[in-house]
Structures are given as C-alpha cells and as structure tokens.
Amino acid sequence: MNDGSSISHINEARSAHGVRSNASPEKIEKLSSVYVDGLILVSQQVFDRTDDSLFDLANNARSNNEQNRYFEAMREVRLKRKRVERKFIDSIKNNFQPDSVLRDPRPSGAAEIQQSNVLSLVSEQNLEKDIAVTNMANKLEAGLQSQFLLNRHRVWALYTGSEALDNANHFNNPFSAINLCKGFSEACSQIEIELAERLLLFKQFDKQVMARLGNIIDNLNGMMADLGILPNLSDRDIRASLTNKQTLSRANASKESRSASQAAAEQTPDNFSTMQRLLHDLNQSSSSHAASSGANISLSSDDVLSLLTMLQHAELEKRHNQKSLLDIEQAIRDSVDSIQPSVSKSLDDNQIQQTDLELINLVAMLFEFILDDYNLAPSIQVLISRLQIPILKVVIKDSSFFNTSQHPARQLLNTLAKAGIGWTEHQEKRNDPLHAKIHETVHFLLDNFEGDLSLFSKLNQEFNDYLQRDDRRTAIIEQRTRKSEEGRIKGRQAQQEVDLRVNRLADSIHTPLQKPITHLLKKAWGRVMFLAYLKDEQEHQWEKACRTAEDLIWCSQPVSDPADRQKWVATVPKLLKQIEQGLESISYSAEELNIDLNEIKRLLTKQFKESAVYDSNIIDASKRAKQQLLETKRHNELRRQPSGVKSNERSQDPEHQACFRAIEALEEGQWFEFTDVKRQKLRWKLTSIVNDADSYIFVNRMGLQPIEKTKAELAKHLSEKSATILEQGALIDRAIHSVINALKQEK
C-alpha cells in the first residue's frame, strides 16, 4: 500500500533549523503506513457520506434545476473520487520527507508581505474555501490538544534525536491538522463543483476526521512510545515545560499587539477561568469556606480520580431512576472515612485540593442545569445526569472541556441531549429504541470509562451513526406525512375557494338558478374548478374554469336587451363545448355527460325564449329583492362585529403580540411541547408552514400523527402556557453560560 521509496535520503537531509535528520527510515515507514491506513478509511467514509447527502438533497429539491445541480455534483464527485483519494494520500506521504518536516512552516517577513499583497486577488470562493480549511484545522487542534502535544514532541525527537522540548515548536509535523486539512482541500481542487457542494464535502471530512483522528493519533503516540521515542513523556510534562515560555510569549504578544489579543479573547472566551475566578471569589466571601484548621493531610488529584472510579461503579447500582445529583464532595469524604477511618477524622474541608473542589462544584452546577432544563424529558435528564462522575473525571484531567466546543465529552453530551429533545414520556420507554440507545451509551460509559477520552469519541460516533440511520427512516416517513397533510390542506383551501367563488356568482344574480344548473356548478363543474385550482401553478386553468362558471350563470338569466341576446347567442355554443371538455378532463361519465349537457341546453334555450317577453318591471323587482337580501346579510355581519372587536383588542395585548412575533420567526424543524387537556406533555416537531392556508403542521418524533394549528391557535397556546417552544442549542454551551450568569448574580 505504501511505497518505501517515498521516505528516502533521510540521513542526508538538513533542515532550515540547521539540524541533520538521523531518523530511522524503518520507524518512519511504519508510522506513516499506520497513519495512511487510517486516513484511507476516513476518506472512504467522507465520500460515502457526501454521496448520501447529495442524494438526499436532490431527492428533496424544490425545483428541477436544483435537483439537476445536486445530481451533477454527485456524478462529478463519483467520477473524481479515486483520483482525489490518490492525490490526498500522496500528499500525506510527501509530508514525511525530512526536508519537508525539518523546516519552519512560519512564513518569513517577505513572504508575509507577499501574502498580504496577493490576498486582495484571491477570489471570494477560494477565500471561503481557505477559511473552511483553517477552521477545520483549528477545531482539530483544539479538540485533540493533548494528543497533538505528545505527537509533536515525539515526532521532533524521532527526526532530530533531540529531547529538548523548547525547540520542538516550529517544524512541519507530518501529522499536524493543517497538513491534513490542506492536503484534502488541494486534492479536492480537481473536483469541479459549486462552493456550497464543496463546503458540504469539507463538512463531511470535518465530521469523519473529528470522530476518528483522536484514535489514530493516540495509536501513533503509543507506537512511538513502544519504539522508544520519549516513552515516559506525558502531556503534563509538556505543559509544565512550556509554562514559562507561554507566559513570556503572551506578555510579548500583549505589548506588540494589544488590540489583536483583545479581539482573540472576545472570539474564544476562557469560560473555565471566568467560572473559576467567580467561584473562588464566592468561596472567599463565604463563611462555609473559612480558613482551614491547619490539617496537613490532603488528597491529590490522582487520589480523587481513584475514589471517583470507585464511586462510579458503586453509584451504577444505587441510583436507578433517581432524579437527583450525587454530593460528590461528601461521597469522597465518606469513601476516605471507610478506607482510613482513623486518618479521615483529622481531615477538614481542605482534604480535597481547592482546584479539585472548584471543579466538583462547577460540574455539579452544570448537571443541576441539565436536571432543570425543560427542553429535556425527565427520563432523558435522569440518564444524562448519571454521567456526573465520568464528566468530573474528564475535567480534572482536562479542563479544556469548558473552553472547547469540540471536546469529545462535551460533544457526546450535546448529541445525547439533541437526540432526546423530541422524546416524549410514556410507559413503554424500555421498548423505545432511542431511549434504549441512550441508556446503553450511558451505562457503557459508567462501566468502562477509566480516563481514556477516546471512549467519548467512539461512543459519539456510534451514537451519531445510529441517529443518522434513524433520521433517514424518519425523514422518509415525515416527508410522506408532510406531503399528505399539505395536500389535504391544499385540497381544503381549494374547496373553500371554489365554494366562495360559486357563492359570490350566485349572489350576483337576480333570478334563482334552476336545480340542474346548481347541481352542475356545485358538483361536476365544482370538481373541475377544484382540480384547476390545485394545478393552477402548472396549467393556469383556474381563471378559465371560473369564467366558464360565470358564463353559465349569466346565460341562465333572463336577457331582454338586444345586445345581451346577441351576446347570449354567441356565448352558449362555446360554453357548452367548454363544459363538455372540462367534464371529460375529470373522467366524467360519458352517458351522464350527454344527459346533463342536453338538459342544460334545454333549460338555457327555454330561458332565452321566455326572456324575450320578460317584463322589465319583474326584473327590477327581482333586483330590488336581491339587494334587500344582501343588505340583510351585511346587517347581520355588523351585529356580530363587537365580538370581533373584542378579539382584536385582546390581540393588542403585549404578551399576545410577543407570541405572534415568536410564531412569525419560527422555522421548520422547531420542536414544541404541548400540554393536552389531561395535562399530558407531548412533543411535536414543526414539519411544514403553509402560509397561504395559515397552517402549521406538526409531527411526532417518528414523523407520524400529524396535527394542524393556525397562527391564532398557536398564539393562544403560547400565551396560556399550554405550548412551549423548545431550545435546540447545544446543551453544554447553554449550561456553561447559565453557570457563569448564576455565579455573577450570586456574586
């Protein structure tokens, strides 16, 4: 699979640092082979998922042009896939050449000036692509910070033989995230697709690499340790060795560019430092955290982690469906008491280090938010809250959990919460596949998590794979339900429009219609108008069908004026032909068609003959009677107006207006929780908004059991608190912001 010749002339290579490479070709070949094998699997997944995504987009396209665009993109990706994969792998192999590795990747001053001059010439699409690549690399570096730290220093030692960590910062690591992302982007440049489809491809790459790269880098770090390359190195050693250097670097950067550092701080807030500072200030002012009594025995972080592992397995059996948090500080103290009763009596509140105490409190506050979050059903809250101990173990080892949105543990919690937003409480929850999958994931973590963060990545990927399969099935059902409901609403709207138009025409005449004509208009021809309304966007037949109905009604009225009689003679033959064609288009019975047409023709002819001697006074009297009837209708409507005014006054209420504004801002896919008359809470997703019909269609999590609401009905539900719009943002992000706000308010 890998050509050993790609790693050649190692001993002759000299870097820009002036360091001669003394790396073993066999070691580099072994490491590059494992890395490439992992990326081949990643690449296959990326293209398979991209193909599925483009197919889904084409299947749900709103127009033929849009559908053709996605199909063309899918065809282009399929045709170029093998070439892209080869170029991608070749670029990765080339990164292992010593002359590529032992060079400083930072641009020189002249290069920076040149880059600045060229920047204005870069096309907008290329700029978008470069930004996407940079963002992907930054996310990977942030999410896998510990793994990359170990990897970078071992690679430096591999190629140079030097264990001096201070010199290992500025060289071109072949395993780096930026090399990986740039290699894929450059390989994909030969695929000729639009920017939107290219970003979709990058998004799939981002997801697959984020899910798998952590395991690959961990495996490589283990292999290098086994090969004798810094076998005892740990991320704590690296962080300790870099502390002074990073502090000095930050100070210099602040002096050189204070505004730039402030902008960066605004973009990536240090949530952990903020929470830690606020909590520390509160503890200092709290009497419960007064000065210690001078006890000199304390528990290290490793001791706390060991005790948490014991508690993790013990609590697995104790707390089955308990909707409450464990008092971990007290539980640790009890555990110490049971192990060392004579010692524990001499321990005061400071037996746990202050930093660990703060982490325990912060995690407890996060999970209190989860248990109070109305966006999750109680059963889902209970399941997620049971991860309190594993998450505490994570943050004790790696506090970047609070600052890094792509942290594996944080991603898993967000994924579990997102999946559970549409879950409704019911008695048979054990038989519910989603509830069972969340239960299985939580218990697997409780059973097996000993500190390896890659377990979170693995479980998150498995859970996402399950969700994608489930979402595909649900999407098909939901699409059918949505189309069925939209068709039903469109049909209802069409029937209302037909009835309205026919009734208006009937109200405009002064002589009542005869029964055969009324029957034809409301039944047979009403069906023609109904279908014409539904197909009007394609065939534009609605107004033509309405004019035919209007002509039929006009021809059925007495006509005494010579000009009108002449118009009648010219209109009737065309009218009968139009009626015949319209009824044939709806597969009307041929036998009934002949009977009805003959009857209509007979009635129209009879009316025409009789109207020749029709007294104009009778016509005028009939018109006056008709006018009186219309005035009576208007009077009755005016008598009903006060209730309408009251309703309008209620709609001016600020709370009611706020509900209307919230509804107008809704988008399809938004989740609601409705409370029925039995006080049972049910969760429904807004699957379609039919503006013309003032209709909002909701389905359950399975895409079934549709319900329909108007805007006024939704506003009433919201104002009466019988409906709640659920928040769909990342759970842990909301929890962290809530904790920070709570600490600020308490302070």
Q: pLDDT tens for residues 461-477?
A: 999 888 888 888 888 88
Report the pLDDT value the prediction gives residue 629, as an integer from 0 to 100.
Answer: 52
Report the pLDDT value the prediction gives residue 245, as an integer from 0 to 100.
Answer: 42
Report the pLDDT value the prediction gives residue 87, as an integer from 0 to 100.
Answer: 93
Angle at 466 between CA 390 and CA 378, to 5 degrees: 55
Q: How far apart are CA 99 and CA 16, in angstroms?
A: 8
Residues in the chain: 747
CATH T-level fold of 647-730: SH3 type barrels. (2.30.30)
Residue 490 burial by Cβ neighbours in a 10 Å radius (0-12, 13-18, 19+): middle
Question: Which residue positions in the chain have pLDDT lower than 50?
Answer: 1-19, 107-122, 239-268, 287-297, 341-350, 615, 618, 637-650
Q: How far is CA 400 from each of CA 70, 137, 269, 384, rounded to the nearest angstrom?
A: 39, 17, 12, 20
Rounding to the nearest 10 degrees, give the CA dihedral for residues 626, 630, 635, 637.
150
Among all chains, which residue has been given the structure tokens 């489930």? Answer: 470
Report the pLDDT value the prediction gives residue 498, as an integer from 0 to 100.
Answer: 87
**Residue 235: CB partners within 8 Å, gap ≥ 6?**
146, 149, 150
Task: Please give the single-letter amino acid code of residue 18.
Answer: G
Report the pLDDT value the prediction gives residue 633, as an integer from 0 to 100.
Answer: 53
- pLDDT digit string (tens) for 73-106? 999 999 999 999 999 999 999 888 877 777 655 5
**Residue 85: CB partners within 8 Å, gap ≥ 6?**
40, 43, 44, 47, 187
**Residue 729: CB partners within 8 Å, gap ≥ 6?**
none
Q: How far apart are CA 66 and CA 61, in angstroms?
A: 6
Report the pLDDT value the prediction gives residue 76, as an integer from 0 to 100.
Answer: 92
Q: Comparing C-alpha atoms, which of 306, 376, 279, 202 is closest to residue 726?
A: 376
The ranges assigned to domains in the chain are 22-102+124-253, 271-288+297-451+735-746, 481-642, 647-730
Report the pLDDT value the prediction gives residue 655, as an integer from 0 to 100.
Answer: 73
Report the pLDDT value the prediction gives residue 667, as an integer from 0 to 100.
Answer: 83
**pTM above 0.75?**
no
Rounding to the nearest 10 degrees, give the CA dihedral for residues 330, 336, 341, 345.
-50
Q: Comparing C-alpha atoms, which of 403, 419, 321 is closest to residue 362?
A: 403
Report the pLDDT value the prediction gives residue 470, as an integer from 0 to 100.
Answer: 85
Report the pLDDT value the prediction gives residue 89, as an integer from 0 to 100.
Answer: 92
Q: How far apart are CA 429 and CA 433, in angstroms?
A: 8
Q: How far apart are CA 665 and CA 680, in angstroms?
A: 27
User: Cβ atoms within 10 A of the Cβ of 327, count?
Assistant: 12
Residue pair 189/43 in contact (Cβ under 8 Å)? The answer is no
Backbone angles phi, psi at 212, to 5 degrees: -115, -25
Report the pLDDT value the prediction gives residue 119, as an integer from 0 to 100.
Answer: 42
Residue pair 422/671 in contact (Cβ under 8 Å)? The answer is yes
Return the H-helix or E-strand segment holding 16: none
Report the pLDDT value the prediction gives residue 308, as an integer from 0 to 100.
Answer: 83
User: Computed from CA positions of residues 357, 359, 362, 364, in that sequence, does the dihedral angle turn out positive or negative?
Assistant: negative
Q: How far apart are CA 302 and CA 396, in angstroms?
A: 9
Report the pLDDT value the prediction gives residue 184, as an integer from 0 to 100.
Answer: 92
Report the pLDDT value the prediction gives residue 426, as an integer from 0 to 100.
Answer: 66
